[in-house]
Structure formats: C-alpha cells, structure tokens
C-alpha cells in the first residue's frame, strides 16, 4: 500500500502530490478502515468490481473496506489529493447518534460531486484536519473527530446525483459494469489504459491475464457489456478528447499519439462515439467533459 494505515492508529490524513501519470501498482482494498479522498487537482479513472467512474478536481472518492479498486490517470493535470483513512471506532459518536447503517448510506456512492460553492467549503474541512493532524495540539484527536463526523454528513446531504452512462454520445458519468469485474479483468483494463497507444491485441491482453483469447473475450464482454475492441476504442477516444481540449496538437498528431495510423480512422471512430468530428468537438466543446 502506498499510504498504509498506522497499526496503532484509528485515523490518518496525508496530502499527496504525485506525478500526473501515477498509477496504483496493484489492486488495493482496505481491511478494517474506510477511505475518504478529496481531489485537489488531477483527473483519474477509478475502477472497482461494480463500476468505473471519473474523478476530477473537487470530487470526493469514498471507499469502504473490502472493495478492490485501482485508479488510472485521465489527463496530464497535476495529481494532488488529500487522503483520509479512519476506523469505525473513530466516528463512534456519529454511529451512536444515527445508527450503524449511516456509514453504509454515506459510502453507498463511491464518488461524489458538489456545487462549486460547496467544493470550497469541503476543501476547508480537509485543510483543517490536515493542519490539526500535523500539529501537537492536545485536543487534536477530539477536534479532528468532530470535523470528520460533520464532513461525512455534509457529503451525504450535499452530493449531486451521479449520472450513469446510457447514451454513447454523452459518456460523462459512471459506467455500471454488466456484472462484477474479477481481478484479472480489472488488471486487463489497467494494461489497456497504459498501452492503448500501442493498440494491444486481444490475444496479448488475454495472455497477460492468464486466459485463452476466446475465454478472455467471453469474460470481458460478460463483465463489461462491451467487446474488447469497443472498450479499447473508448479508451483511445477519451484520450483524444483530452488532447483536443488541453493541447494545440493537430488532429494528425493526436491520431498518431492515440494509436491510429490514419487520421481518417480517428475521425470516423470519434464521430461514432461523440456525434461530431474531432475539429467540431474542439471548437464547440472547449469545456465539455471527456469520456469517463
């Protein structure tokens, strides 16, 4: 684990500044603690067995125990985050007052978006907890406990509904998997995200996953509801969107950078996915969100 929970602690918080291309080296799952992460800067894709969802600046990721997950970069923006880990006994005042199920309710939504004004307020919670955690105040644990309990209720009461993908031209929310992803399929997606520029073949990824090509193809489609080639295209188009919105590179340069030998192939698949050509997308959607 890159940020282990101290063995004798019931709470920890760290502010991390990582390379924009940082990737979690392995699948991770908490054991006896909960995670709460606030993304200050950066764009990430979090993959869990049940869904994949984008994380952008101002969002909070909530991860309960025993859910395997892995995050992958979505852009070249600096990756800066606050990461909180706490054990259930640390928020006992909250569960004593509102019942043991309150944590299940808060953590039923794995990523949480807020209005701009609420984002500013939430950032202050993390900043204050971090400052107290780094201090030698004799009251720091009690004060952090109060702040965290209040923050958890703020998240529950103020988060916006998550959009679920249901339109291939408007892929801006989370994607619910057709069935829970197994670790080999999560690792396969991770490999595809890291090597999409090389246009990796199904056979290559199947071999790395330990399956025959035919068996891997069936598993992939069963769990994701998309074929291998459809999902790989989705990854490449999402990266093309990012390059169109955040660089001045030509469509030809972007095609080569995303694994297309010909600009026409990128344009054709881009229009199928987004409903417009790359240049139309750049001109008309400067502030549009990329595919998750």
The 70-73 sheet, strands edge to edge: 70-73, 43-47, 51-56, 175-176
Q: What pLDDT is attached to residue 114? A: 95
Encode pLDDT of 122-143 as tens digits: 999 999 999 999 999 999 999 9
Q: What is the CA radius of gyration of the chain?
A: 20
What's the CATH number for 11-158?
2.60.120.280
What distance in Å separates the CA atoms of residue 232 and residue 202, rounded to the nearest whole number? 10
List the chain residues with pLDDT less than 70. Answer: 1-7, 163-174, 285-292
Check: pTM over 0.75? Answer yes or no: no
Pairing of β 79-86 and β 11-18 = antiparallel
Phi/psi at 64 (5° precision): -80, 175
Q: Which residues pair with 69 in a beta bridge?
A: 28
CA-CA-CA-CA torsion for 42, 242, 21, 167, nearest 10 degrees?
80
Instruction: Please give the structure tokens belonging to residue 130.
Output: 């971090």
CATH level 3 topology of 175-284: Arc Repressor Mutant, subunit A (1.10.10)
pLDDT number for residue 1: 39
CA angle 121–17–189, rounded 5-degree value: 100
- Give how far Cα 157 sits from Cα of 8, 84, 105, 152, Å: 32, 19, 11, 9
The CATH 1.10.10.60 portion of the chain extends over 175-284
What is the distance between the terminal CA atoms of the chain, rounded to a whole angstrom? 25
User: Nearest 5°: phi and psi at 43?
Assistant: -140, 125
Q: Where in the chain are all domains bearing CATH 2.60.120.280?
A: 11-158
**Dihedral over Cα of 74, 75, 76, 78: its sign:** negative
DSSP per position, 164-216? B---TT---SBEE-SSPPPHHHHHHHHHHHHHGGG---HHHHHHHHTS-HHHH
pLDDT per residue as tens digits for the range 172-224? 456 778 888 888 998 898 899 889 999 999 999 999 999 999 999 999 999 98
- pLDDT value for 285: 65
């Amino acid at each position: 684990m890159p940020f282990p929970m101290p063995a004798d602690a019931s709470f920890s918080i760290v502010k991390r500044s990582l390379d924009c291309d940082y990737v979690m080296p392995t699948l991770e799952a908490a054991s006896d603690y909960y995670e709460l992460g606030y993304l200050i800067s950066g764009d990430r894709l979090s993959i869990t067995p049940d869904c994949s969802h984008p994380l952008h600046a101002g969002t909070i990721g909530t991860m309960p125990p025993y859910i395997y997950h892995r995050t992958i970069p979505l852009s070249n923006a600096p990756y800066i985050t606050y990461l909180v880990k706490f054990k259930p006994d640390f928020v006992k005042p909250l569960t004593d007052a509102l019942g043991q199920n309150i944590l299940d309710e808060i953590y039923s939504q794995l990523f949480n978006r807020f209005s701009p004004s609420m984002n500013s307020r939430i950032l202050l919670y993390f900043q204050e907890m971090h400052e107290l955690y780094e201090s030698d105040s004799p009251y720091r644990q009690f004060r952090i406990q109060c702040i965290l309990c209040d923050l958890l209720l703020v998240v529950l009461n103020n988060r916006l509904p998550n959009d679920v993908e249901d339109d291939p031209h408007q892929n801006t929310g989370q994607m619910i998997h057709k069935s829970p992803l197994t670790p080999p399929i999560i690792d396969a997606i991770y490999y595809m995200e890291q090597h999409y520029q090389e246009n990796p073949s199904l056979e290559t990824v199947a071999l790395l996953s330990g399956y025959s090509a035919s068996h891997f193809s069936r598993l992939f489609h069963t769990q994701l509801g998309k074929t291998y080639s459809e999902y790989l295209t989705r990854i490449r188009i999402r990266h093309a969107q990012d390059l169109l919105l955040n660089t001045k590179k030509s469509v030809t340069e972007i095609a080569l950078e995303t694994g297309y030998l010909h600009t026409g192939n990128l344009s054709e698949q881009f229009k199928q996915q987004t409903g417009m050509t790359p240049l139309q997308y750049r001109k008309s959607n400067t502030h549009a969100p990329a595919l998750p």
